[in-house]
């Protein structure tokens, strides 16, 4: 896939484009024992743009952070400051014979925060605990967001909505999670700077149903990392 992508890139970039190739994920681990070699990270940070391919499959036993291919992806996001992920949904025409024809003409931009929440929170891991008279394994993660992290992605979503239809749906789980309550408060406070944008809040389970059943009613959907 990357070989063909580079052919397309070369067609548009011509001789003025200098392309360096480096490995990350599974291929990097197989070659060097590290999912993100120092030379790869250095090339990434020194480049004007990054074209990222697939990072490879997990294998049995890849339970430690340093062995899983995804570790390289998360580390790259962190070192590059890639905190915002854009996932557009654009249904321009009704698929022939499709029972989802009602979605034709819908245009949604999902803005996902990418550098916080349970993906990066510490501590995390597995441990043995005493329970019901036995020693059993337990897994744990830490979900964490700062006000600044939430405001950064909220501001991006609100700015995007200004150039679209002026609506933002912020998705959280504020009825259960303290992290989500901070998320909701920070988003609402940031939205006060954007009086021309209409902001609504919705729990994630309800939002999933609403977006699927009435997609035309949504413009920008703002979500956390998880």
pLDDT tens digits for range 167-187: 999 999 999 999 999 999 999
> Where in the sequence is the domain holding 130, given as residue range(s)?
83-225
- Same domain assignment for residues 77 and 93: no
Per-residue confidence (pLDDT) for residue 69, from 0 to 100: 85
- The pLDDT tens digits for 12-68 are 877 788 889 999 998 898 898 899 999 999 999 999 999 998 888 877 766 665 678
* Helix 147-162 × helix 178-191 angle, to 10°: 50
Domain count, the chain: 2
* Domain's final residue, options 52, 81, 110: 81
CATH number at residue 169: 3.40.718.10
d(CA 97, CA 99): 7
- The pLDDT tens digits for 146-155 are 999 999 999 9
- The pLDDT tens digits for 189-224 are 999 999 999 999 999 999 999 998 999 999 999 999
How open is the CA angle 127-119-36, to the nearest 5 degrees?
95
């Amino acid at each position: 896939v990357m070989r063909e992508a580079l052919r397309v890139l070369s067609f548009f970039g011509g001789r003025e484009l200098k392309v360096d190739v480096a490995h990350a994920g599974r291929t990097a681990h197989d070659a060097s024992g590290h999912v993100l070699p120092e030379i790869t990270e250095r090339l990434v940070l020194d480049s004007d743009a990054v074209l990222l391919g697939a990072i490879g499959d997990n294998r049995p036993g890849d339970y430690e952070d340093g062995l899983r291919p995804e570790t390289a992806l998360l580390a790259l996001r962190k070192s590059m400051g890639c905190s915002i992920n854009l996932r557009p949904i654009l249904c321009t025409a009704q698929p022939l014979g499709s029972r989802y024809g009602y979605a034709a003409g819908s245009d949604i931009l999902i803005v996902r925060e990418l550098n916080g929440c349970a993906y990066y929170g510490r501590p995390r891991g597995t441990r043995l605990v005493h329970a019901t008279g036995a020693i059993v394994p337990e897994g744990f993660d830490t979900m964490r967001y700062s006000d600044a992290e939430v405001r950064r992605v909220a501001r991006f979503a609100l700015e995007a909505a200004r150039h679209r239809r002026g609506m933002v749906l912020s998705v959280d789980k504020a009825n259960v999670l303290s992290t989500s309550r901070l998320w909701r408060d920070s988003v609402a406070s940031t939205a006060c700077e954007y009086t021309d944008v209409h902001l609504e809040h919705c729990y994630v389970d309800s939002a999933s149903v609403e977006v699927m059943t009435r997609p035309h009613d949504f413009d920008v959907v703002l979500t956390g990392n998880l």
